[in-house]
Chains A and B, each alone.
Chain A
Amino acid sequence: MTRNTPQSHQPLKVLQNISITAATVFCFTFILIMASGAPPFKAFFYIFKGSLGSWVKLSHVIQAWVPLTLCACGLLYTFRIGLWNIGIEGQMIMGAVFSTAVLRLGTQSAFPWFVLILSFVAGVIGGGLWAVIAGFLKTRSGVNEIFAGLGLNFVAQGIILWLIFGPWKRPGVASMSGTEVFPTELWLGTIKSLRLAPVGVGFAVLAIITSAILLRYSSIGLRLRAIGSNSHASYLFGMKPNQYMLLAMLLAGGFAGLAGNLQVTGVYHRLLPAISSNYGYLALLVVMLADYKVWAVPAIAFFFACLNVGSIQLPMVLQVDSSLSGVIQGALVLATLALSGWRRFQTAN
């Protein structure tokens, strides 16, 4: 068997897989919405309308697409080397925290754009640092990266709450609505009517392009894949698996940290307890559904963003909880995994 054979009839297979998965998930959610007493077609329609119904809605979708894509791009590196970077959520949070620290110092600055650039760097460092901690625990002490990541997520959550209710609290009263809003000079420039920051979109597009190039044409991409497939053999080939694991973590954390920064500078203009909006966890699903392929990531991230944004108004119009989007996303990934497992079982027999 060569690599070409499966690819030659792949488009058909892919199409078939997608339709089976979509049909399964559609039926599943259809029944679920019915069970909750709402009209299913109407619910789907409102999700559609709520996400793509107007330019403003679309801009909300893109606002969600940016961090989702950034995190997903980062996760491509860790998945390549066989690491489950669950800690991406905490890495995003720490990116936001580091960024906020820089922005707070720069509120009086005469060069706000310089402070913003510094905050990007700080975000990348914050996320990268948090990821590398998990990486060190993995490579030095053999702590599974899933446990390390989960633990660090809780720590990051603790830190952000402590900052918001402690040292960085609003003058007067601390609240869940976050720190004080930054002066507008420290906001990323937005397209006026849409409240969408083009810089963020630019970062996301750049992340896709760099990741595609790095993973496909660079030695790093090939080595990550080699180590992920067989780290013993890779070591015999002269690679240092531990160093590459740290590198992959650093890249993933860096991208997540940048996503955290954009949540602060481009969307909320302050630090919130829920600054990460669970985009890190959601990005894990995006990458799995994209079958770890970089070209599929932007499309799936966009679809997931549509679901997230579109379901926001479900409670108002249909009295259906907005968590429906999460159910659809989860069901999609499970159905895909089940299908690919079934296909593998078929070929094995």
Chain B
Amino acid sequence: MHIELKDIHKHYGPVRANNGVNLKVEAGTIFGILGENGAGKSTLMKILAGYIRKTSGQILLDGHVVDYTSPAIAARLGIGMLYQDPLDFPALSVLENFIIGQRRGLTQSNQSFCQKLQSLADELHFALRPDQVIRSLTIGERQQLEIIRLLALGINILVLDEPTTGISSLQKEVLFKALRQLATAGKIVILVSHKLEDVEQLCDNVTVLRRGKVTGNMQAPFDAQKLLKMMFGQIPSTPQCGRITPGKTALVMQGVSASGGRAGLEKCSIQFHQREVIGLAGLEGSGQGVFMRVAAGLKQPVQGKIHMYERDVTDQDYHVFKDYGGMYVPASRMEEGLIPSLTIAEHFALQVSGEFWVNWSKAMQKAEDSIVQFSIKGQKQTLVASLSGGNQQRLLLSFLPSNPKLLLLENPTRGLDVESGHWVWRHLQKYCRTDACIVFSSSELDEIMMVADRVLVFYNGRIIKDVPTCETSVEELGRAIAGKI
């Protein structure tokens, strides 16, 4: 048995999530797919699992072209996927989850499924109790259940998307042992990861993706340096030190912990200054999102102290943060940043109007000025939902106060083309000259190296690296993101 992907393309409008990917996996191997955020790994695997449809390309199973339109059909061909967040039913029991989706004869009793579940679990050394409710399980246990369920469906090709995030090291050991056992039994295991250590420990072969394309293949034993280079591309020159003279302390966190996201935030202590640009790196969900929300007052910490320009803002809400000159710009522009059914002018009206009457003349004027100043392609009466991503971002930036003190920007250039991205940063850097402190997260290390003075790397809810960009390199950061300091 072998599976082959030929020239797979997946386009979302102008975005090419997969741009001509080729790979081949033989039976009995554990195959790694490596790449940074947004490289196209998950897209590729979801295509393989029938969860999303490819734009073009072929999938060959044992040399025959197979075409399928749903995960259920893929499962019948023996292809199954363990998603990043387990897709199960929290209210049901382990056994009920196991039975769902399986063919069931009239005479087949729950007892027979229970036996099947037990024997598969024993075989792989998973400790699962059939009567436990999913809600009370850990992510690791839910994964185990999902693996067993897929195997019972007759899966021969098992795809795992970032399976080691959010599970304990003991569970990881059990998982890896089980995966090796499956490979030895002649199945294909495909592991999608951004973590070098996982790949090094487990895989026989690895393919690296970057921006939707294959940048290289390697067989065990792996050369970490080379893999990092394939993952992150050509390494940009390190910026020079001493670009800035930091001003007053803008934001201080002392031992702040918070919940949320996959990893939460654990005992985070930092000190940011005026005129600094700080980049937050890390795999998505490693804590940088929670960090920003806590800093902005959108989420309250469970412990620790937060000060903003020497004022205690612990447990204060976002409106206080805003009053003190802070501003938070979320990554999900349409979900959190803008109001879809309102026009550009109405967005300004919300901001310039008094308590009772809408000041339409002022709002219209402001909208007109901003459209010109920020070169937004749209009119005053354009609904923001119909603006392109780049223009939505420009509009959001036009809402920034004229002299902000602290800006928190979540992936400010995500989904923008290079030109728009440069424009955004040219604009943001102006604020630094007027004594603001800018904190931004980004999945692009190049971007962080280019614009930030200092970089923080988040891993599993902790800051594991905090260095000036002039004293580090993309390789070093890449290693830190993958959990290797």
Contact = CB atoms under 8 A, between A and B. Distances in A.
Contacts of B382: 1-3
A225 interface: yes
A233 B382 CA distance: 18
B381 A218 contact: no
Interface string A231-273: 0111111111000000000000000000000000000000000
Contacts of B322: 238
Q: Size range of the interface on A?
A: 20 to 34
Nearest to B343: A3
Name the residue in B330, B335, B336, B340 with the highest tally of chain A Cβ atoms < 10 Å from its Cβ.
Answer: B336
A79 to B, nearest CB: 13
Which 5 A-B residue pairings sit nearest by Cβ, starting from the closest? A229-B341, A230-B339, A232-B336, A219-B353, A3-B381
Contact of B356 (A218, A229, A230): A218
A1 B379 CA distance: 10
Given A219-B355, A222-B353, A3 B383 contact: yes
A221 B353 CA distance: 12
B330 A217 contact: no
Interface stretch (B95-103, B119-127, B156-164, B344-352): B344-352
B358 A218 contact: yes
B343 A222 contact: no
A124 B478 CA distance: 64
Nearest to A231: B339
B386 A1 contact: yes
A229 B342 contact: yes
A323 B176 CA distance: 68
Interface in A1-23: 1-4
Given A2-B383, A230-B339, A223 B318 contact: no
A185 B96 CA distance: 70
22 contacts: A1-B382, A2-B382, A2-B383, A3-B343, A3-B381, A3-B383, A218-B357, A219-B356, A219-B357, A219-B358, A222-B353, A226-B339, A226-B346, A226-B350, A229-B340, A230-B336, A230-B340, A233-B335, A236-B330, A237-B339, A237-B350, A237-B351
Interface in B359-397: 378-379, 381-383, 386
Given A236-B318, A237-B350, A237-B351, A225 B358 contact: no
B336 A222 contact: no
Contacts of B340: 229-230
Interface residues of B, number: 30
B335 A232 contact: yes
Contacts of B343: 3
Contacts of A217: 357-358
Interface string A193-219: 000000000000000000000000111
Interface in B32-73: none
Given A3-B383, A229-B342, A234-B339, 5 more contacts: A226-B346, A233-B336, A233-B337, A237-B351, A238-B351
A226 B358 CA distance: 13
B31 interface: no
Contacts of B341: 225, 229
A171 to B, nearest CB: 50
Interface in B325-339: 328, 330, 335-339
A1 B318 contact: no
Given A1-B386, A223-B350, A229-B342, A236 B381 contact: no
A236 B357 contact: no
B14 interface: no
Contact of B328 (A218, A221, A234, A236): A236
A232 B339 CA distance: 9
Nearest to A240: B319
Chain A contact residues: over half helix, strand or loop, or mixed? helix
Nearest to A213: B357
A220 B350 CA distance: 10
B221 interface: no
A230 B337 CA distance: 9
A222 B358 contact: yes
B354 interface: yes
Contacts of A236: 318, 328, 330, 336-337
Contact of A235 (B318, B346, B353, B383): B318
B338 A233 contact: yes
Contacts of B351: 237-238
Contact of B342 (A226, A232, A235): A226
Name the residue in A3, A220, A226, A238 with the highest tally of chain B Cβ atoms < 10 Å from its Cβ.
Answer: A3
A225 B382 CA distance: 16
A22 to B, nearest CB: 28
Nearest to A223: B350
B350 A222 contact: yes
Interface string A324-344: 000000000000000000000
A223 B386 CA distance: 21
A217 B336 CA distance: 25
Nearest to B296: A236
Nearest to A239: B350
A331 B358 CA distance: 38
Contacts of A233: 335-339
Contacts of B337: 233, 236
Contacts of A222: 346, 349-350, 353, 358
A237 B343 CA distance: 15
Contacts of B379: 2
A40 B441 CA distance: 68
A2 B342 CA distance: 11
Contacts of A223: 350
Name the residue in A226, A236, A238 with the highest tally of chain B Cβ atoms < 10 Å from its Cβ.
Answer: A236
A237 B338 CA distance: 9
A155 to B, nearest CB: 30
Nearest to B353: A219
Name the residue in B322, B342, B355 with the highest tally of chain A Cβ atoms < 10 Å from its Cβ.
Answer: B342
A174 B130 CA distance: 60
B326 to A, nearest CB: 11
B371 to A, nearest CB: 13
A332 B197 CA distance: 64
Nearest to A235: B318
Nearest to B379: A2
A71 B358 CA distance: 25
B358 A229 contact: no
A86 B260 CA distance: 34
Interface in B131-164: none
B25 to A, nearest CB: 38
B381 A2 contact: yes
Contacts of A240: 319
Contacts of A220: 356
Nearest to B354: A219
A104 to B, nearest CB: 38
Contacts of B354: 219
A285 to B, nearest CB: 23
A232 B342 CA distance: 14
Nearest to B386: A1
Contacts of A219: 353-358
B446 to A, nearest CB: 29
Contacts of B319: 238, 240
A2 B346 CA distance: 13
Interface in B294-327: 318-319, 322
A244 B358 CA distance: 16
A222 B337 CA distance: 17
Contacts of A225: 341-342
A239 B339 CA distance: 13
